[in-house]
Structure 1
Amino acid sequence: MTLRSVILGTGSALPRRRVDNAELAKTVDTSDEWIVARTGIRSRYIAGEGETTSSLAIAASKRALEAAGLPATDIDLIILATATPDQTFPASATTVQAGLGINDCVAFDVAAVCSGFLYAVTVADNMLRGGAAKTALVIGSETFSRILDWEDRTTCVLFGDGAGAIVLQAQETDAATGRGIIANRLHADGRHNGLLSVDGGPSTTGTVGKVRMKGQDVFRHAVVNLAQVMQEVLDDAGLSAADVDWVVPHQANARILDATARKLGLDPARVVVTVDRHANTSAASVPLALDVAVRDGRIKTGDLVVLEAMGGGFTWGACALRF
């Protein structure tokens, strides 16, 4: 037997407003054909008045807790991955904590952009297995629409808003066949800051800033880095690509998903794709896609699942788990 962090429930939340490419083309110099051909994106959800990173996170968390069959008061650790917190401080995780009616638990944010959820999962897994907590809520939530330059047509069409959450609990399980997280791998390379970043911040400009991206350069790095880290995590777990039931990737671009699958020899039918309906929701994209695949019945108890993501920084990571 071995101690592992087991996913007990998943949940997600989206803003009320859905914006398809045709509607976007009314205000941005673009077209449905142009966006679909380059990204595979057909729609995205945009946060409106009263919808914030924390409100979406709370809604996703409640659904994850309901799926897990646990009261919020069982949670003793909340880690929220986001690049768009409600405030510079305090951490939006503490707003989630209060919104769930939890009087006291460890709660903090993680900032690794699109890889943030993988970073948060890895931190939570280590804390659970190390005994610092028993049951964790790990969330990815973003309102990326509020840091987009809506006159930059090559970038603004790529992103959307949303949230996803999982409930993780430390449990003794069979080392060979038991459920839970088997292996994690994380990386970062700050030399590539200028390829995907926000041109502002409290310490530099005193403003929030807008997303800036050099798409072709990011694409090339993404395919290489994601294939590499997925192979690393499979090696760590003693598994091969053939053993994997489902890959839940960061939903950045359909072309990146296809290229990464080909590079690893993965069956594209085993890759969960939601980028067409949600666009790139940054740290929310992996848990949001995971929840979709769990709720529609694709991912079942006992399935071997690999999560992966790459984001600005660059940061990237992967996680192998038995659901």
Structure 2
Amino acid sequence: MTKHLRAAITAIGHYLPKDILTNDDIAKMVDTSDEWITTRVGIHQRHILRDRTEGASVLGVEAIRDLVRRHPMDLSTIDMVICSTNSPDYIFPSTASIIAAETGIPDGVPCYDFQAACSGFIFGLQIARGLVESGLYRKILLVTAEKNSYFANPSDRSTLPLFGDGGAATLIEPTEDDMGVIDILIGNKNIGHRDDLIIPAGGSARPASHETIDSGEHFIKMNGRVIFKCAVSTMGETSQEVLTRNGLTKDQVAWVVPHQANLRIMSAVAERLELPMDRLLVNIGHCGNTSSSSIPIVLSECEKQIRRGDNIIMTAFGAGLTYGTALLKWAYDTPEE
């Protein structure tokens, strides 16, 4: 009898740009303070890709190089590259194709971008899972590459402190054991939320013009109260739903990895799940919100803490309004360097 294939994360890497923007730096740009930012969102600093000639592909390329350094592999064996990004290098060609070319992934390998805002990693994991478990592909690189600083408004004290830049690369392969992705729930709250989290101009509905630039419509606009409320309720409810439908209790979860948007949101999700904060993997203090890169960067940074067989809940929420929660059983112990 043919065993059922299950998609599993088998390697991971990440990259954070060297330049750092601290809260004190931001306080010189807008009316705020380190204390105000830290108290409200839990962020002390964020990494910024300052070179305006470098796009998000740089973050993805360096993340793949980190993955290969930590988990030596032959990139010629990769048979698909998918990239989650809100900040593509160009409208076309795809950022995934640029990343593949820069890392030596051979011609013929399909590469494409997709966008699900801050939920992109969970959406990408579902895409890769379907392709791997169907048997169509065996080694998929899921890359997240987010140059959020390009749409951060330097005069908006409510959004400027939130976002940082970063990339991650995750290798997804089939396994026949009971490790890997157990369940994923993804969805959208489409009705009535378009303008709650949006970059108004730059797309085909409102192309760039002197007017849109002068009015700051190429920067992110956010209804913070609505997003906070929706994020807490949705991330908490979907996490509980995934646990319940898989017959697990909170005590059987080793780690919860929430999207790193706001420390107060993460604390509220932990409270809803009746879990102590030390069961959450958190890096928002030194990274800020790296959008779809936030969850895999946390996994990569905390890789040595995670053990084979650990049950992990990952949950995210973003513009769209997208949401996603995944349950996986970690597939490997971190090799000694």
User: Residue 5 of structure 1: SS of its match in structure 2?
Assistant: strand
Residue 279 of structure 1: which of 269, 285, 288 is its match? 288
**Structure number with higher strand proportion:** 1
- Per the alignment, in what secondary structure is the counterpart of residue 5 of structure 2? strand
Cα distance, 1:20 vs structure 2? 1.1
SS of residue paired to 2:141: strand
Determine the structure 1 residue equivalent to 2:200.
199
Counterpart code for 1:107: C
Counterpart selection for 2:126 from 99, 106, 122: 122
Aligned residue in 1 for 2:61:
58
Counterparts of residues 70-89 of structure 1 (less than 5 Å): 70-89=73-92
C-alpha displacement of 1:239: 1.6
- The equivalent of 2:311 in structure 1 is 304
Counterpart residue number, 2:103:
100
In structure 2, what is the equivalent of residue 226 of structure 1?
235
For structure 2, the residue ranges without an aligned partner over 5 or more in a row are 209-216, 331-337
Match of 1:180 in 2: 180
5 Å-filtered alignment, 1:154-193, equals 154-173=158-177, 178-191=178-191, 192-193=193-194
Structure 2 distance, partners of 1:305, 1:12, is 19
Displacement of 1:170 in angstroms is 0.9
- Give, in whole Å, the separation in 2 of the partners of 1:122 and 1:65: 23
| CA displacement 1:263-285 (0-9 Å, x = unmatched) | 01122111011111100011111
CA deviation string 1:228-285 (max 9, x = no partner) = 1112222333322211101111000000000001001122111011111100011111
Q: CA deviation at 1:73?
A: 0.9
Name the residue aligned to 1:322.
Answer: 329
For 2:45 and 2:157, the matched residues in 1 are separated by 15
Structure 1: how far apart are the matches of 2:219 and 2:139?
36
**Percent of aligned positions that are identical:** 34
Moved more, 111-120 or 227-236: 227-236
CA–CA distance in structure 1, aligned partners of residues 183 and 65 of structure 2: 27
Shift >6 Å, 4+ stretches: none
Q: Deviations over 1:164-216 (max 9, x none)?
A: 1211101211xxxx211111110101221111111113312213821000111
By how many angstroms is 1:104 displaced?
A: 2.0
Q: Which amino acid in the other structure matches residue 46 of structure 1? A: I
Determine the structure 1 residue equivalent to 2:275: 266
Q: Counterpart of 1:35?
A: 37
Partners in 2 of 1:265 and 1:237 — Cα distance? Answer: 18
The alignment's TM-score, normalised by the length of structure 1, stands at 0.95
- Equivalent residues, number: 317
Distance 1:241 1:2 in 2: 27
Deviation, structure 1 residue 79: 1.1
Return the TM-score normalized by structure 2.
0.91
Read off the aligned partner of 2:184 and give its amino acid letter: N
Distance 1:308 1:255 in 2: 15
1:127-138 to 2 correspondences below 5 Å: 127-138=131-142
1:23 is paired with a residue whose SS is: helix
Unaligned runs of 5+ in 1: none
2:57 match: secondary structure? helix
Distance (Å, rounded) in 1 between the aligned partners of 2:41 and 2:137:
40
Q: Does 1:91 align with 2:98?
A: no
What amino acid maps onto 2:56 in structure 1? T
Equivalents in 2 of 1:169, 1:66: separation in Å?
Answer: 18
Rg (Cα) greater in structure: 2
Deviation at 1:97, TM superposition (A): 1.0
CA separation in 2, counterparts of 1:146 and 1:64?
25
